[in-house]
A and B are shown apart, each in its own frame.
Chain A
Amino acid sequence: MRRVVITGQGTINALGRNVPETLAAMRDGRCGISDLEFQDVERLSIRIGAQIKGYEPEASFNRQQIALYDRFTQFTLLAAREAIGQSGLSFSGELATRSGVVLGTSGGGMNTLDENYRTVYEDGKNRVHPFVVPKLMNNAAASHVSMEWNLKGPSFTVATACASSNHAMGQAMQMIRGGMADVMITGGSEAMLCFGGIKAWEGLRVMSKDGCRPFSANRNGMVQGEGAAVFVFEDYDHARARGAEILAEVVGFSMTSDAADIVMPSKQGASRAIVGAMRDAGLNPEDVGYVNAHGTGTTANDKTECAAVADAFGHHADDLMISSTKSMHGHLIGGTGAVELLACIMALRDGVIAPTIGYEEPDPECALDVVPNVARDVKVEAALSNAFAFGGLNAVLALRAA
């Protein structure tokens, strides 16, 4: 079985326009959540989110590109540019056919949908822009990445709500492991911060009006974010042969299904995914120093996740660190696992554990070391990244230091 390593990473999210800015914000425990700004926001009861402020598409894309690229595609391309640039790879000939793209998103071109529904329903117009379909489709971002960098191997998009990115990265890893590809561009993106995107979530009554406080007894819901993170996954031998810098190794992946409830999480399903990822990676519980939690800040997720971690790790649950960086970058839904993988890589490479900010009151049902409010310098050898989606679909990745 081939080994899989990460040789490039890129991002744009509310904490930063690239990886160094994002990691600096995580290290400082900075919050990217602020008042939402978009049309009709005054008709919402939830008005906060981790929105990328001051974003100007014109600074990065030309007129024709903007006509074709929804915001989620733009974010993806910006993150991919940083990641592929760092990897030093260029794709031609045999390598191009042995390289692909698998990305996660939940809503795809949600802003395009929202704007064009407004045009036909509210404004009463009878004509929409000809590119609405290629702009809004969920695979638009993956396809544009394949076109921009000449990636001609297996490419597709995964949509499993909040686990989309982890499922995507798990597939990318397995494709390289199994020999289907040598390089996979992977990660995820979400741009759901628009009137319709928030209005739909509002209805479920799980959103916080005032902030994201994972694991804190006074938490009152999730806060959405937007952005993308993209990684270059590469066959270990291929990366070694070309002398590439290895950021971390992707050593394990597991996915499970709760088969129980469309919104309520299950301890058993989550625990099985965590155990499965460790088993796939050949890691013992005590090898794992850090877990990037799903940690949405809802009552149900956080207590269920803590119970699942305790179940999966046994006694070692009290010795490991688990933090939710959603407290800073918000919940990027289909893109969230990708941005959170950045925190895992930072833990492994730099020995910096990103904190759970907004932590105010201990909750006896979340009695783990959640790295409250302040980042910590600790060297860890292996880390896990949890994602547990609505629909009971769980995906956990295991990383090891390079």
Chain B
Amino acid sequence: MSDSIKDRVIAILAEQAMLEPGDISPEQSLEDLGIDSLGLVESIFAIEEAFDISVPFNANDPTEGDFDISSVDAIIRAVQGLVATQAA
């Protein structure tokens, strides 16, 4: 299950960055991938739709909601955490 979360998050980010999923590595930041603030908001929307979760994120204060966007890996872990807590 957690592998599939990882793959799906990477697929979402890859689509946003117009890259192949295989070209994305976990330590990369969104900036590395060329995803800007609008791209981030759109990616979060896609993640919410894909996993049926609500992501606490305010573009004015990206650190506010404990949703770590510092790297691809951080985002995957944050999504795994939200899926686990919001799956109930």
Contact = CB atoms under 8 A, between A and B. Distances in A.
B2 interface: no
Contact of B58 (A205, A262, A263): A205
Contacts of B70: none
B47 to A, nearest CB: 13
A206 B38 contact: no
A263 B37 contact: yes
Interface in B54-88: 54, 57-61, 64
Interface residues of B, number: 12
A300 B64 CA distance: 16
A263 B60 contact: no
A299 B61 contact: yes
Given A221-B60, A299-B61, A262 B38 contact: yes
A221 B41 CA distance: 15
Contacts of A204: 41, 59
A187 to B, nearest CB: 29
B17 to A, nearest CB: 18
Interface residue range, chain A: 10 to 19
A298 B57 CA distance: 14
Contacts of A45: 54
A208 B61 CA distance: 10
A263 B58 CA distance: 15
A139 B45 CA distance: 33
Contacts of B59: 204-206, 221, 298-299
A93 interface: no
A128 interface: no
B64 A220 contact: yes
B60 A299 contact: yes
A333 B78 CA distance: 34
A206 B60 contact: yes
Contacts of B57: 205
B44 interface: yes
Contacts of A300: 60
Contacts of A299: 59-61
A203 interface: yes
A294 interface: no
Contacts of A263: 37-38
A264 B40 CA distance: 13
A219 B45 CA distance: 23
Nearest to A296: B60
A260 to B, nearest CB: 12
A287 to B, nearest CB: 34
A198 B82 CA distance: 25
A258 to B, nearest CB: 15
Interface string B5-48: 00000000000000000000000000000000110010011000
B60 A208 contact: yes
A165 B44 CA distance: 33
Contacts of A262: 38
B31 to A, nearest CB: 14
10 contacts: A206-B59, A206-B60, A208-B58, A220-B60, A220-B64, A263-B37, A263-B38, A264-B37, A298-B59, A298-B60
Interface of B: 37-38, 41, 44-45, 54, 57-61, 64
Please name the 6 residue pairs, one residue from A and one from B, whose CB atoms are nearest each other, closest first: A299-B60, A205-B59, A221-B60, A220-B60, A220-B61, A206-B59
